[in-house]
Amino acid sequence: MADEIRIDDHVQMKKKHPCGSDVWTVTRTGADIKIRCSGCGRVVMMDRETFLKRRKKLLQQGPVPAVLPFQPIPAATAQDMAEGSSEA
């Protein structure tokens, strides 16, 4: 199983939540992982290592994170807007 963790991953954990559900949705990734219980909506945060240890199965992988291309704002834009707004 890949160690890749994506937002919106649907995962099955080894331990059942007290509410009876063992399916969680990843809501935040990074050094710490946030998952939300699909049964009761409770959010739990744990570090990546713990998450991978407790994860039993990846049920459905979330979408590939969108990478926003770097778009520099043309220097002229700000000036044009300032000129246009001076008309009363």
Q: How many CB atoms lie within 10 A of CB 55?
A: 20
Read off φ and ψ for residue 72, nearest 5 degrees: -70, 140
Scanning 1-9, 32-40, 56-64, 71-79 for contacts with Zn ion by CB under 5 A, the matching segment is 32-40
Residue 21 tokens, joined: 């559900």
37 lines the binding site for Zn ion (CB under 5 A): yes
40 lines the binding site for Zn ion (CB under 5 A): yes
Let me know: does 22 contact 37? Beta carbons within 8 Å.
Answer: no
Tell me whether residue 41 or residue 65 sits nearer to Zn ion (CB atom). 41
Q: How many residues bind Zn ion (CB under 5 A)?
A: 6
What is the contact surface with Zn ion in residues (CB under 5 A)? Answer: 17, 19, 21, 37, 39-40
